[in-house]
Amino acid sequence: MTELIPAIDIIDGRCVRLSRGDYSTSKIYGDPAEMARAFADAGAPKLHLVDLDGAKASAPCNLNTLERIASDGRLRIEWGGGLKNETALSDCFSAGADFAIIGSVAALQPEVFLEWLDRFGGDRLIFGADVKDGSLAVKGWLEEAAAGMDTLLELFSTHGLARVICTDISRDGMLCGPDISFYMSMAKRFPSLQFTVSGGIGDSGDLAAVRDAGLPGVIVGKAFYEGRITMDEMKLWWQKG
């Protein structure tokens, strides 16, 4: 069964969504903790949380929001944004995150990420591979990394990495459908890794396409907030899971 993970992106303590990673396109959708409770009430087992302020500032900025959401106790939380050193990583776990999404450090300082994998375990750390025009984007999607994605995945998989959230920035927030063939090719090349689809989900048909492709996970953000995928549809998915 494909895992369906609702997303909440945070700026200034509020739930927002961007288009193609452009901060100037942010649209506000309310209080993150209230939204998280709604997902939990509908049966969601996991939540994808991104601190966009933290990603831009290179340090967590919304851990108080993480604490509020985690205090409910019903959701496993994967948290990303601003995790640039071990202190920040430990702080996010202390605030209630079950999993930490590491993007820029993994892409720019792979030797550091390898140390974290060895210390915290590949089951708690997720490689956040944000792809833009075939290259890895870092620092809140504002810069490009020189390292090749395949090279990094080969390296990290030897140190216990289990999961990769791969976001197609060109499709993120655009509701145009994910590039299923890309994810399937990555899964074929790296069978030991679980790839979560992120970016471009526009409706329930896209979710079905991800499921039919046998991909293990998919993140839903703007399609829900814009009413193109309903809470009832997601609730049914979680009930079947």
CATH number at residue 32: 3.20.20.70
Q: Where are the beta strands (DSSP E) in the chain?
A: 3-11, 14-19, 22-30, 46-51, 76-80, 99-102, 125-132, 135-138, 143-144, 163-168, 194-198, 217-220
Active-site entry in 53, 130, 172, 206:
130
| pTM exceeds 0.85 | yes
Could you tell me the residue range of the domain that residue 27 belongs to? 3-240
- Using a 10 angstrom Cβ sphere, with 0-12 exposed, 13-18 middle and 19 or more buried, the burial of residue 87 is exposed
Active site residue 9: yes
pLDDT digits (tens, 9 = 90+) for 29-87: 999 999 999 999 999 999 999 999 998 899 999 999 999 999 999 999 999 999 999 99
Which residues are bridge partners to 7 per DSSP?
48
130 counts as catalytic: yes
pLDDT tens for each residue of 23-35: 777 888 999 999 9
Contact 201, 215 (CB under 8 A): no
- Number of separate domains in the chain: 1
Residue 57 neighbours by CB under 8 Å, 6+ apart: 82
